[in-house]
Amino acid sequence: MSDFKNQPFAARVRHAFAGVRHAVGAERNLRLQLLALAAMLVLLGYLRPAPVWWALVLLAASGVLAAELFNTAIERLADHLHPQAHAQIRIVKDCAAAAVLLLAVGALCVAGALALSLWPAR
């Protein structure tokens, strides 16, 4: 059993934040996604849409960020276990990247729906 498995909650949270810090420092895409989230939050603050839009944007953004963290973890593990190029490892990495892309497109659709909902009626 892992030494980390039954640690106190505070210790597990520290490990989680260490993972976030590492990924933010190592992954340019994650930094760009965090910047996009910050811009969206500023825009939401300016537009002041209904609370459901805040929830949808935050849910979509957290999904993208979580997928990026999973993608980072999968890439690091795959590179550690099989450092040389390998067709099956490439497929694993491509699928993980595709999950991030799919969620990012979904988040853009949420942003588009928000924009349409705020568009002046004619």
Question: What does the pLDDT look like over 32-78, one tens digit per residue?
Answer: 999 999 999 999 999 999 999 999 999 999 999 999 999 999 999 99
Number of domains in the chain: 1
In a domain, 87, yes or no: yes
In a domain, 3, yes or no: no
Report whether 114 contacts 56 (CB < 8 A): yes
pLDDT reading at 3 higher than 80? no
Domain harbouring 17, CATH code: 1.10.287.3610
In a domain, 1, yes or no: no
pLDDT more than 70, % of the chain? 95
In a domain, 105, yes or no: yes
The residue segments making up the domain with residue 81 are: 9-118
Task: Please give the positions annotated as active site.
Answer: 68
pLDDT reading at 2 higher than 70? no
pLDDT reading at 1 higher than 60? no
Give the pTM: 0.88
